[in-house]
Amino acid sequence: MWEQYPDDVKIGCLPAVIVPWKFNEITRNSERRLLIDACAVQCGKQLFDRHGMSVDSYVELTSTLGIRKVKKLPLRGLEERVYVTIQREVDALLGKVY
């Protein structure tokens, strides 16, 4: 996404939320935030909630894509489904209309 929208999208490090100066930098430098959790455990959401960081859009991939988290290689085409899902959220946040 950051390659497709280099002026609009920056990728943040999830663990940085707990570092006070990094938290302030993320808050100061981002107009909108999209949080992506890979599974229903929602580690990212819990971390954001605990530290008071707001999000404008949230995606939990396993539920959204209707898949279960398992310890094996993903099915073919999953990467594309994940990409399309994230792209849809980014486009909505940026107000992109096609």
At residue 45, the pLDDT reads 94
CB atoms inside a 10 Å sphere around CB 91: 15
User: What's the pTM value of the predicted model, to 2 decimals?
Assistant: 0.81
Confidence of residue 98 (pLDDT cuts 50, 70, 90): low
Q: What is the pLDDT of residues 48-70, one digit of tens each?
A: 999 988 899 999 999 999 988 88
Q: What is the pLDDT of residues 20-58, one digit of tens each?
A: 898 888 888 888 889 999 999 999 999 999 998 889 999
Q: How far is CA 41 from the centre of its chain?
A: 14
pLDDT at 81 over 80: yes
E strand map for 9-93: 34-37, 57-60
